[in-house]
Amino acid sequence: MANASVIAGTNRLKHAIQILREQWWATEPNWNDAVRRRFEERYVKPIEPAVDSALYGIQRLGEVLDRIRRECSDRSENP
């Protein structure tokens, strides 16, 4: 099981990206011109794949931390 703080971090990041997505969609009725589209292409769209990569990395880090914790625990129990 992944480290609780790692899980909490991934959940916060997932929640933040969902809020960003919802807020961005909410701007469309009032801001729908070439500047918005350019901003979306330059700043908004690259966020999703970056977050996906970060979430994958955080998940892997959690797995490594769990393995380290288990291995260290095993060693301390067997002197």
What does the radius of gyration of the chain's CA atoms come to, in whole angstroms? 19
CA 27 and chain centroid, separation: 23
pLDDT at site 78: 63
Number of domains observed in the structure of the chain: 1
Q: For 25-58, what is each residue's pLDDT tens digit?
A: 999 999 999 999 999 999 999 999 999 999 999 9
**Those residues with Cβ within 8 angstroms of residue 55's Cβ, 6 or more apart along the chain or in another chain:** 10, 13, 14
pLDDT at site 52: 95
Q: For 52-76, what is each residue's pLDDT tens digit?
A: 999 999 999 988 988 998 899 877 6
- Domain of residue 12: give its range: 4-77
The answer to whether residue 1 scores a pLDDT higher than 60 is no
Q: What is the pTM of this model?
A: 0.74
Locate 72 and state its tokens: 């260290």
Q: At what angle do helices 4-27 and 47-77 cross, to 10 degrees?
A: 170
